[in-house]
């Protein structure tokens, strides 16, 4: 890292490929999203994500739910570990090309 490049606390990272850990986060909030949207998704595959460091970490995850439809989900992950997750929001009717943004 260039020492002259400032670190922006709370800034959103670049989009990254999904890791098994990020898919696990998406899987853990799937039931809550299905309940809130009154939908049962045949597919729930995370395809990319961005992160934001706060008093923990906000994860913005793009999820392929099949039939050309995507969701953007926002999950807060606390510092205490994998079980400390909170669904903060979601956006429906997204496409593969819609950029993940803070919401």
pLDDT in tens, 10-53: 688 899 999 999 999 999 999 999 999 999 999 999 999 999 88
Half-sphere exposure of 47 (CA within 13 A, CB side): 19
Enter the tokens of residue 103.
Answer: 């919401």
Nearest to 70 by CA among 50, 44, 37, 32: 44
Domain ranges, ordered by start, for the chain: 16-94
What value, to the nearest 5°, has the Cα angle with vertex 18 and ends 72 and 83? Answer: 80
**Residue 55: what pLDDT?**
82
H or E, element range at 58: strand 56-66
Domain 16-94: state its class. alpha beta
**Residue 9: what pLDDT?**
55
The whole-model pTM stands at: 0.84
């Amino acid at each position: 890292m260039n020492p002259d490049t400032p670190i922006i606390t709370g800034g959103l990272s670049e989009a990254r490929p999904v890791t098994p850990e990020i898919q696990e986060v998406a899987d853990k909030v799937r039931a809550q999203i299905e309940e809130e949207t009154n939908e049962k998704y045949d597919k729930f595959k995370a395809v990319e994500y961005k992160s934001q460091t706060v008093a923990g970490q906000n994860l913005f995850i793009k999820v392929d739910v099949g039939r050309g439809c995507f969701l953007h989900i926002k999950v807060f992950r606390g510092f205490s570990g994998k079980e400390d997750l909170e669904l903060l929001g979601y956006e429906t009717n997204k496409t593969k090309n819609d950029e993940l943004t803070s919401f």
